[in-house]
Amino acid sequence: MPIPAVYPYVQLIPSIGAAGWMPMLPVTLDHNGTALAAAALVDSGASLNIIPYQLGVQLGGNWNQYPGSLPLGGVFANYPAKPLFLDVRIGTFPPVQLSFGWTQAPTARLLLGQMNFFLEFDVCFYRTRGEFHVQPRTP
Amino acid sequence: MSYPEVLDAARALPRDEQLKLADVLLEGAESLTPNTYELPEHLRHLFPPPGASFEVFTPFDCFEAAAVLERMLAERKGQ
């Protein structure tokens, strides 16, 4: 069984105290050999992974590769979205292919959600200790 | 020796030797401490600057899109 990697909560907004600390995960995103380092919010409440439009463009994503639009709802419903598949490396773990909703919504953040980050990685949040643990799923 | 065989052998030990065995196993378990990750300085630029706003809109109800991605991912893995 792999030993989990331990990451600190990151203080994003000092002015609001404890509420400003978030589980931000440094990741390397790779799309057909174009790689970028980024920080993703580990969001267990998200039903899928999200990548902002500009980040997908920087990775060389082809917006027109898939016809139609991904049916994102909620606050993203009014903006076009496409699927984007990336190889994602976390720490020293082997890269894993993750699917993203690639949205043009200007408010989008890089999010790691249930489909399929949480299907590939086990995560334990230790908010009181200010850290979270990530490890690849066990077969 | 398989795990069930080890377990049976351990249960057959006298009580004091079971305690010694527990000590040895716990000592080994303590060495399995997780990798501690400190955010390195060169990654600091990935995060918003201190004090910047960071609105997050969680797509908590995008189940249809999640199902589409799941199907597409399965198709890609099947290729």
How many domains does chain A divide into?
A: 1
Residue among A39, A116, A109 at smallest CA distance from A76 = A109
Q: Which two tokens stand for residue B36?
A: 């501690």
- State the residue for tokens 């606050």: A75
Q: Which of B46, B66, B67 sits opposite A26 (nearest CB)?
A: B46
Kindly tell me if the per-residue pLDDT of A62 is higher than 70.
yes
Query: Measured on CA atoms in the order A96, A60, B57, B37, is the torsion positive or negative?
Result: positive
The model's pTM: 0.79
Q: Which two tokens stand for residue B17?
A: 């030797």
To test the contact with chain B by mutation, choose from A109, A115, A117 the residue with the greatest count of B C-beta atoms within 10 A, namely: A115
Structural domain boundaries enclosing B19 = 3-34+52-78
pLDDT at res. A75 = 85
Q: Is residue B20 part of a domain?
A: yes
Q: Quote the CA–CA distance of A72 and A78 in Å, as a whole number.
A: 9
For A49-58, b/e burial (b = at least 16 CB within 10 A) is bbbbbebbee
Structural domain boundaries enclosing A41 = 5-136
- State the residue for tokens 């918003």: B48
pLDDT grade, residue B16 (50/70/90)? Answer: confident
3-class SS of residue A128: helix
Q: Is residue B68 part of a domain?
A: yes
User: Which residues from A are below 8 Å from B36, CB to CB?
Assistant: 6
pLDDT grade, residue B55 (50/70/90)? Answer: confident
Q: Which two tokens stand for residue B79?
A: 């290729």
Mean pLDDT, all residues of chain A: 93
Q: Which residues contact B44 (CB under 8 A, 6 or more apart)?
A: none
Kindly tell me if the per-residue pLDDT of B32 is higher than 70.
no
Q: Is residue B41 part of a domain?
A: no
Q: What is the DSSP secondary-structure string of A67-107?
A: SS-----GGGTTS-EEEEEEEEE-TTSPPEEEEEEEE--TT
Q: Is residue B45 part of a domain?
A: no
pLDDT at res. B38 = 52
Q: Does B34 touch chain A (CB under 8 A)?
A: yes
A15 vs B65, which has greater pLDDT?
Answer: B65
In this complex, do B65 and A108 lie within 8 Å of one another by their Cβ atoms? no
Q: Residue A85: which CATH number?
A: 2.40.70.10
Q: Quote the CA–CA distance of A99 and A83 in Å, as a whole number.
A: 7
Q: Is residue B46 part of a domain?
A: no
Kindly tell me if the per-residue pLDDT of A100 is higher than 90.
yes
How many domains does chain B divide into?
A: 1
Q: Is residue B57 part of a domain?
A: yes
Q: Does A77 touch chain B (CB under 8 A)?
A: no
- Note whether A19 and B56 are within 8 A (CB): no
Interval A42-49 mean pLDDT: 96
pLDDT grade, residue B50 (50/70/90)? Answer: low
pLDDT at res. B39 = 59
Q: Is residue B71 part of a domain?
A: yes
pLDDT at res. A102 = 97
Q: Is residue B43 part of a domain?
A: no
Q: What is the ipTM of this complex?
A: 0.87
pLDDT grade, residue A59 (50/70/90)? Answer: very high
Q: Does B66 touch chain A (CB under 8 A)?
A: yes
Q: Which of B34, B54, B77 sits opposite A12 (nearest CB)?
A: B54
Radius of gyration of chain A (CA): 15
Q: Does B47 touch chain A (CB under 8 A)?
A: yes
